[in-house]
């Protein structure tokens, strides 16, 4: 997942994509910022260790003042004097400077261990989003850009510059410039409220710290290192709801009652608080869309995506649901048989049983012991392998920065070099802790852009929640987490490899329903033995993973693939239903919709009393866009087919992928870039093959 999206206005709505920025404001623009760590000098990283809550508040005030001054300069230019440089380039610079401050603040709100800094950052997110709403409805700025769009120079533009002008005008008009002034003011008020609601929704998820206390018997079946890490002085065990705690417990614990108790807690994270917050979010989104002339929030949100409209997405999800029915039914039958053979009874599989019996199935039918597999994936080996593969494919070099200035002691910092030249900087924040963002995502901070001082190098942070080492073992990763690591690093590479001239078109600033493709493609490398054998080494013996063991993993890959893919269809359909067919102003609740959609799509029925939606963070950041995961997977698998044909480590293919897909961002249409890389029109053959259909 890449935090926050591509377009500036998406950031203004506090959508969950963090894109980044360009050159930070110079000291001569504002002397009061000279000591503020967030106002770093050109191509220098933020001094995170020195950052204070007061620095954040000061930066918020300063960047608004600087942005206002830039806008005033753009607006006062006479009509006949407007050029791409003094209007569009200046506008792009203003956006990049604004986000160069807001993105690190956004990161701190979800990762900083100091509550004062974290709370200051969260409050600032709201203020910055509301300020962004003001810009999006600034009539003078809109008129300046629109006027330039009519100029003779603008009419002669081609390529990325013409695209930037037309998309900038469209962004303004999608934000209400077809409305009268009174309605635009009302729209701003709605967007301001949405910013506050969005922050509250995310904050409630981040601050949920529920856990389950279990006894020794409830830990039967769990690995020794798992038990040791959670044992308390009184002999009980504290199991929290982070992925490294929750997923192994549901897979290995022999106690059905404990698994059920943990499942119920997990499915009620941030509830009941976020049920009310979500209703408000949906109400305000629908009100905003209606004000802009759209029938639903989905119709509004999808208008500038590859899909274009809700009807296309409904057709996509509905066809997938039908295509998956047979495989999903077979998956369930297989699980039911295993359950029955192990004394679990003939009743329908329960949601808290599926992981447990899936693990038994893998052990018995495929002789695949996930704990044995973990022994070949020590975190440091995985990092080394990931780096080695991507350096080979894309002709890169990574150098770790010793003693970096970071927000948490175990955060690591790396520089990326291409042909000896510094290309970008990224951070790794890999382990869980209290009040930290609890999934895996790439948080962009600085996007590449051409400036008078040279090219602004991009910067990003990879935030994950992988296991930590214990006194007697290194951090050992389940293969699924290795897959996640490769996926998220695909987002990092998308940021690092950009060569786009314009901030708004660089890195992950692409259509939301394409942005996952450059990350999803990298999951394939952990399913290829030629790649895996480079880094999968037993943590004790240093033996390379035997090919026979890998082949067992490969044979088991599509076990449960129907259920897994149906789950993705469920998430996308639930999201789409809430934003296209649900009226939040009636007595029907989001839980009613959840029950209906889950029972229609998933083989395991809805469990009464659960409220999964309260912690479904994608409803905030990916509102009406979750379908994009499967949508973009079609393109990811099609692009990977070239590596499949030419070799998983083929540098020629890698360099073409780097220079066509990663480097260009949205300077060209996504579909055109995919077709250029493939040398043909895209198709879904590789996608269907990957699902085992």
SS3 annotation, 595-625: HHHHHHHCCCCCCCCCCHHHHCCHHHHCCCC
How many CB atoms are closer than 10 A to CB 662? 21
- What does the pLDDT read at residue 133? 84
- What does the pLDDT read at residue 123? 95
Active centre residues (catalytic): 488
Across 385-414, b (16+ Cβ under 10 Å) vs e yields bbbebbeebbebebeeeeebebbbeebbbb
- What does the pLDDT read at residue 11? 36
d(C-alpha 283, C-alpha 585), whole Å: 7
- Cβ–Cβ under 8 Å, residues 326 and 312: no
- What does the pLDDT read at residue 584? 97
Helices (H), 433-473: none
> For residue range 192-241, what is the model confidence (pLDDT) as tens digits?
999 899 999 999 998 999 999 999 999 999 999 899 999 999 999 999 99
Q: Is 50 exposed, middle or buried (0-12, 13-18, 19+ CB in 10 A)?
A: exposed
d(C-alpha 627, C-alpha 568), whole Å: 8
d(C-alpha 239, C-alpha 249), whole Å: 8
- What does the pLDDT read at residue 25? 36
Concatenate the DSSP letters of all residues of 479-526 into one string. HHHHHHHHHHHHHHHHHHT---SSGGGSTT-S-TTTTTHHHHGGGGGG
- The ranges assigned to domains in the chain are 9-204, 209-268, 379-556
> For residue range 351-386, what is the model confidence (pLDDT) as tens digits?
999 999 999 999 898 888 989 999 999 999 999 999
- What does the pLDDT read at residue 137? 85
CATH for 379-556 is 3.40.390.10
Q: What's the predicted TM-score (pTM) here? A: 0.84
Residues 126, 132, 133, 138: is their CA dihedral positive or negative? positive
CATH number (3.40.50.10800, 1.20.1050.40, 3.40.50.10740, 1.20.58.1290) of 9-204 reads 1.20.1050.40
Helices (H), 292-369: 297-302, 310-341, 354-365
Helix (H, G, I), strand (E, B) or coil at 45: coil
- What does the pLDDT read at residue 622? 84
Residue ranges of the chain with pLDDT lower than 50? Answer: 4-31
d(C-alpha 55, C-alpha 50), whole Å: 9
Residue 46 has which token pair? 């933020």
Task: For residue 1, give the nearest of 343, 313, 464, 469 by alpha carbon.
Answer: 464
d(C-alpha 191, C-alpha 134), whole Å: 9
Helix (H, G, I), strand (E, B) or coil at 345: coil
The DSSP 8-state label assigned to residue 68 in this structure reads H
- What does the pLDDT read at residue 102? 96
């Amino acid at each position: 997942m890449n935090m926050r999206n591509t377009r500036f206005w998406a950031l203004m709505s506090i959508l969950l994509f963090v894109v980044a920025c360009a050159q930070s404001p110079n000291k001569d623009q504002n002397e009061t910022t000279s000591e503020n760590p967030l106002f770093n000098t050109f191509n220098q990283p933020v001094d995170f260790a020195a950052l204070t809550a007061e620095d954040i508040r000061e930066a918020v005030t300063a960047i608004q003042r600087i942005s206002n001054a830039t806008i005033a300069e753009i607006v006062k230019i006479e009509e006949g004097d407007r050029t791409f440089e003094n209007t569009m380039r200046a506008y792009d610079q203003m956006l990049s400077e604004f986000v160069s401050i807001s993105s690190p603040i956004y990161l701190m709100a979800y990762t900083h261990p100091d509550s004062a800094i974290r709370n200051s950052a969260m409050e600032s997110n709201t203020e910055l989003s509301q300020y962004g709403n003001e810009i999006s409805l600034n009539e003078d700025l809109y008129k300046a850009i629109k006027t330039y769009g009519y100029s003779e120079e603008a009419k002669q533009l081609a390529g990325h510059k013409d695209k930037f002008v037309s998309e900038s005008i469209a962004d303004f008009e999608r934000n209400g410039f077809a409305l009268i002034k009174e309605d635009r003011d009302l729209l701003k008020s709605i967007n301001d409220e949405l910013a506050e609601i969005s922050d509250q929704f995310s904050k409630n998820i981040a601050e949920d710290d529920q856990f389950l206390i279990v006894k020794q018997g409830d830990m039967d079946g769990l690995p020794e290192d798992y038990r040791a890490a959670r044992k308390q002085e009184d002999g009980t065990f504290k199991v929290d709801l982070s992925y490294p705690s929750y997923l192994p417990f549901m897979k290995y614990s022999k106690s059905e009652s404990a698994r059920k108790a943990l499942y119920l807690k997990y499915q009620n994270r941030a509830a009941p608080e976020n049920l009310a917050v979500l209703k408000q979010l949906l109400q305000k989104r629908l009100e905003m869309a209606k004000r802009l002339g759209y029938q639903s929030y989905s119709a509004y949100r999808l208008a500038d995506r590859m899909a274009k409209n809700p009807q296309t997405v409904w057709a996509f999800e509905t066809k997938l649901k039908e295509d998956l029915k047979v495989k999903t039914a077979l998956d369930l039958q297989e699980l039911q048989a295993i359950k029955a053979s192990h004394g679990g009874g003939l009743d329908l599989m329960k949601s808290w049983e599926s992981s447990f019996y899936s693990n038994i199935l893998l052990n018995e039918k495929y002789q695949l012991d996930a704990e044995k597999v973990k022994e070949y994936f020590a975190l440091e080996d995985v990092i080394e392998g990931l780096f080695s593969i991507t350096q080979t494919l894309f002709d890169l070099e990574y150098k770790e920065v010793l003693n970096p200035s970071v927000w948490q002691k175990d955060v690591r910092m790396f520089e990326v070099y291409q042909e000896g030249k510094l290309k970008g900087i990224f951070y790794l924040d890999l382990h869980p802790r209290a009040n930290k963002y609890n999934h895996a995502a790439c948080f962009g901070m600085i996007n590449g852009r051409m400036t008078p001082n040279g090219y602004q190098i991009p910067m990003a942070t990879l935030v994950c929640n992988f296991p930590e080492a214990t006194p007697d073992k290194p951090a050992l990763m389940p293969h699924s987490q290795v897959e996640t690591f490769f996926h998220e690093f695909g987002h990092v590479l998308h940021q690092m490899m950009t060569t786009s001239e314009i901030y708004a078109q660089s890195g992950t600033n692409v259509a939301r329903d394409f942005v996952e493709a450059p990350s999803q493609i990298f999951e394939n490398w952990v399913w290829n033995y030629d790649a895996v054998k480079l880094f999968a080494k037993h943590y004790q013996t240093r033996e390379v993973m035997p090919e026979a063991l890998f082949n067992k993993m490969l044979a088991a890959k599509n076990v449960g693939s129907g259920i897994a893919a149906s789950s993705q269809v469920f998430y996308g359909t639930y999201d789409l239903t809430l934003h296209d067919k649900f009226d939040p102003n009636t007595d029907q609740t989001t839980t009613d919709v959840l029950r209906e959609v889950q029972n229609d799509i998933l083989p395991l029925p809805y469990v009464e009393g659960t409220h999964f939606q309260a912690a479904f963070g994608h409803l905030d950041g990916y509102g009406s866009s979750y379908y994009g995961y499967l949508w973009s997977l079609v393109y990811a698998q099609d692009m990977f087919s070239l590596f499949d044909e030419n070799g998983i480590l083929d540098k020629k293919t890698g360099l073409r992928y780097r220079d066509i897909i990663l480097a260009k961002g949205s300077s060209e249409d996504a579909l055109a870039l995919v077709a250029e890389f493939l040398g043909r029109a895209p198709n879904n053959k590789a996608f269907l093959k990957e699902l085992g259909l």
